[in-house]
């Protein structure tokens, strides 16, 4: 794997002076504010360019709309073939894309490669799906009638994405949208523009060699929240799929609802693991560690709350503190590093503020300090924190997007589940237990209230085959596998009368 981002970009074919807008395969320089992309690894400037303007939003949406009128008529299995070729191109550029992800988002090499693998996996999933966009046939109550449903392409889909999964979230949305017959307009995080430019460049290359792909099938518009908001406001974008913080989701949902559009929201989590007295402690330490400190605590599914049975709490805490003590923290591109940097100074300040607040609310903080030795002075490196809390105080109920693991104790499983569900977010959850009754209770209607509930597996690191998303303030959206594709299509119910009579439903007589 190469470590030079510039060489990686070159191999993908990204121009030396990248542009902020791609209207289909045509790159256009933005005329907005100057954006300077900094690497969380060492603070170096990776790219400088002008952001898109509000005018660009209209142009891109019009182009995506015209392209949609053509793409929706291409048979779904052919659309699948386009995605299959995209998957091949992603395989070819896997190492280069991962290098760009590491430089821009600060992920360790293994996790960056894993993120690109997720893109490849969703391509494979979408190819199969392109021959399975089934509707149902329903028994009609009327003689000589048939009742059925069909799923049709929806339109241009707006994808707003977060910095921490700078390529996979787009792929989850775009690959399903492409096979469903939709076009895509991507507004990536302004913190990871080069990741987006590289992905768009790969799609452009595949699209240019695919005769049925209309120009405008895939579009990119880089800018801040203003651009995201303009996309959310646009009447010609029937679905906005938005991934990011809860305040962002609240703003986008309101804007989209005002024009009665659809939104698919993938927002913040506050994920917990219940550790029962029967848990395998060695497995618990390993899975809690990966879930809590992986991606430096910057995953939507990161483990943030550990709810431990009082009889094993001291033993588990000692083992966890030992593991935290030995964490290899540093440059994410170095082999052996397991914890890279936080994304920026703001994330570091937010973490330090949360630790101070936790102390004021009765917490005992272990680790959590900034690592600022010379070689790390220009990045935001921290030692992940463990905080023993007397209960779920205000700070524990918030998502702090940093590696802070709050540890609380419980006596009965009912009490643990109540504590587990007593936060506003509802993304991912886990229980570590060898007791089948406890496991089933956790998965039951009276158990975890999250979109993802796991047994003896941590809350982070989902597979693409399942539907991904969460409840409550996490937004209720589902992406990726299972039947998540239905969000990207419109359902029509069709009644066909093949008789010579005209019976009405519900037995209504309406004759003159």
- Which range in 17-25, 143-151, 183-191, 406-414 contacts ligand NAD by CB under 6 A? 183-191
Question: How far is it, in rounded angstroms, from Cα 223 to Cα 21?
Answer: 9
Instruction: Give the DSSP letter string of 143-160.
Output: TTEEEEEEEEE--EEEEE
- Which range in 21-29, 100-108, 154-162, 497-505 contacts ligand NAD by CB under 6 A? 154-162
Report if residue 271 touches ligand NAD, rule: CB under 6 A: no
Report if residue 225 touches ligand NAD, rule: CB under 6 A: yes
Planar angle of CA 275, 280, 282, nearest 5 degrees? 105
Active site residue 266: yes
Of the candidates 257, 296, 276, 250, the residue with the CA atom closest to the CA atom of residue 402: 296
- Which range in 2-10, 53-61, 227-235, 432-440 contacts ligand NAD by CB under 6 A? 227-235
Per the listing, tokens 């899975």 go with: 287
Contacts of 442 (CB under 8 A, 6+ apart): 274, 417, 429, 431, 433, 448, 453, 455
Residue 253: Cβ within 10 Å count: 18
Of the candidates 243, 191, 178, 257, the residue with the CA atom closest to the CA atom of residue 222: 191
Give the pairing of strands 218-221 and 183-187: parallel
End-to-end CA distance of the chain: 79
Give whichever of 133 and 222 is closer to ligand NAD, judged by the CB atom: 222
Work out which of 253, 300, 408, 419 binds ligand NAD, going by CB under 6 A.
300
Report if residue 224 touches ligand NAD, rule: CB under 6 A: yes
Report if residue 481 touches ligand NAD, rule: CB under 6 A: no
In terms of phi and psi (left: phi > 0; alpha: psi -120 to 50; beta: otherwise), the region of 476 is left
Least CB distance from residue 246 to ligand NAD, whole Å?
7
Report if residue 401 touches ligand NAD, rule: CB under 6 A: yes
Report if residue 160 touches ligand NAD, rule: CB under 6 A: yes
Of the candidates 124, 71, 95, 67, the residue with the CA atom closest to the CA atom of residue 198: 95
Work out which of 194, 222, 232, 380 binds ligand NAD, going by CB under 6 A.
232
Least CB distance from residue 324 to ligand NAD, whole Å?
22
Report if residue 399 touches ligand NAD, rule: CB under 6 A: yes
Report if residue 121 touches ligand NAD, rule: CB under 6 A: no
Report if residue 164 touches ligand NAD, rule: CB under 6 A: yes
Half-sphere exposure of 419 (CA within 13 A, CB side): 26
Two tokens, residue 385? 């924190």
Total site size for ligand NAD, rule CB under 6 A: 29
Least CB distance from residue 240 to ligand NAD, whole Å?
9
Work out which of 65, 66, 117, 245 binds ligand NAD, going by CB under 6 A.
245
Rounded to 5 degrees, what are φ and ψ at 492? -115, 140
Whether 506 and 148 have beta carbons less than 8 Å apart is answered as no
Report if residue 402 touches ligand NAD, rule: CB under 6 A: no
Work out which of 115, 121, 190, 388 binds ligand NAD, going by CB under 6 A.
190
With H, G, I as helix, E, B as strand and everything else as coil, classify residue 398: coil
Two tokens, residue 116? 């690109």
Question: How far is it, in rounded angstroms, from Cα 296 to Cα 294?
Answer: 5
- Which range in 36-44, 105-113, 158-166, 383-391 contacts ligand NAD by CB under 6 A? 158-166
Least CB distance from residue 116 to ligand NAD, whole Å?
16
Of the candidates 345, 335, 330, the residue with the CA atom closest to the CA atom of residue 38: 345
Contact letters for ligand NAD, residues 89-118 (x by CB under 6 A): ------------------------------
Work out which of 193, 216, 261, 269 binds ligand NAD, going by CB under 6 A.
269
Half-sphere exposure of 492 (CA within 13 A, CB side): 7
Report if residue 244 touches ligand NAD, rule: CB under 6 A: yes
Work out which of 165, 367, 406, 442 binds ligand NAD, going by CB under 6 A.
165
Task: Exactly one of 104, 111, 190, 266 is catalytic; name it.
Answer: 266
Question: How far is it, in rounded angstroms, from Cα 128 to Cα 144?
Answer: 35
Give whichever of 164 and 219 is closer to ligand NAD, judged by the CB atom: 164
Give whichever of 126 and 467 is closer to ligand NAD, judged by the CB atom: 467
Report if residue 354 touches ligand NAD, rule: CB under 6 A: no
Report if residue 248 touches ligand NAD, rule: CB under 6 A: yes
With H, G, I as helix, E, B as strand and everything else as coil, classify residue 268: coil
With H, G, I as helix, E, B as strand and everything else as coil, classify residue 303: strand
Binding site for ligand NAD (CB under 6 A): 160-165, 187, 189-190, 224-225, 228-229, 232, 243-245, 248, 251-252, 266-269, 300, 399, 401, 427, 474
What residues are labeled active site?
266
């Amino acid at each position: 794997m190469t470590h030079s981002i510039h060489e990686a970009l070159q191999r993908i074919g990204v121009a030396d002076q990248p542009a902020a807008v791609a209207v289909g395969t045509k790159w256009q320089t933005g005329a907005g504010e100057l954006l300077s992309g900094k690497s969380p690894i060492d603070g170096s400037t990776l790219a400088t360019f002008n952001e898109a303007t509000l005018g660009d939003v209209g142009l891109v949406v019009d182009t995506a709309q015209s392209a949609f009128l053509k793409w929706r008529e291409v048979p779904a299995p052919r659309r699948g073939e386009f995605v299959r070729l995209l998957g091949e191109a992603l395989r070819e550029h896997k190492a280069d894309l991962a290098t760009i992800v590491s430089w821009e988002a600060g992920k360790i090499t293994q996790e960056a490669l894993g993120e690109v693998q997720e893109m490849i996996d969703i391509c494979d999933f979408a190819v199969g799906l392109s021959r399975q966009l089934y509707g149902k046939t329903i028994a009609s109550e009327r003689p000589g009638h048939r009742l059925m449903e069909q799923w049709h392409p929806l339109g241009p889909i707006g994808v707003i994405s977060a910095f921490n999964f700078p390529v996979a979230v787009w792929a989850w949305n775009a690959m399903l949208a492409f096979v469903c017959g939709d076009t895509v307009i991507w507004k990536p995080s302004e913190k990871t523009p080069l990741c987006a430019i590289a992905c768009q460049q790969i799609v452009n290359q595949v699209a240019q060699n695919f005769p049925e792909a209309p120009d405008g099938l895939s579009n990119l518009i880089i800018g801040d929240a203003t651009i995201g908001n303009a996309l959310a406001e646009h009447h010609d974008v029937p679905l906005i799929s938005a991934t990011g913080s809860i305040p962002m989701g609240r703003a986008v949902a309101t804007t989209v609802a005002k024009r009665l559009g659809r939104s698919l929201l993938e927002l913040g989590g506050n994920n917990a693991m219940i550790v029962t007295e029967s848990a395998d402690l060695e497995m618990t330490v390993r899975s809690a560690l990966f879930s809590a400190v992986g991606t430096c605590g910057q995953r939507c599914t990161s483990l943030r709350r550990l709810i431990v049975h009082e009889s094993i709490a001291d033993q588990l805490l000692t083992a966890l503190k030992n593991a935290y003590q030995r964490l290899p923290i540093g440059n994410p591109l170095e082999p052996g590093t397991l914890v890279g940097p936080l994304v920026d100074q703001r994330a570091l300040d937010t973490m330090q503020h949360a630790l101070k607040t936790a102390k004021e609310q009765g917490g005992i903080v272990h680790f959590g300090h900034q690592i600022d030795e010379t070689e790390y002075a220009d990045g935001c490196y921290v030692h992940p924190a463990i905080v023993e809390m007397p209960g779920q105080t205000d700070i524990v109920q918030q998502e702090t997007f940093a590696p802070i693991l709050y540890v609380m104790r419980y006596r009965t499983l009912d009490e643990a589940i109540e504590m587990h569900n007593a936060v506003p977010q509802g993304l991912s959850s886990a229980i570590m237990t060898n007791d089948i009754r406890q496991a089933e209770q956790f998965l039951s209607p009276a158990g975890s209230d999250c979109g993802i509930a796991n047994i003896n597996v941590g809350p982070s690191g989902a597979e693409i085959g399942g539907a991904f998303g969460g409840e409550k303030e996490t937004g209720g959206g589902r992406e990726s596998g299972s039947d998540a594709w239905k969000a990207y299509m419109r359902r029509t119910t069709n009644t066909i009368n093949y008789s010579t009579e005209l019976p009405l439903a519900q037995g209504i007589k309406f004759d003159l």
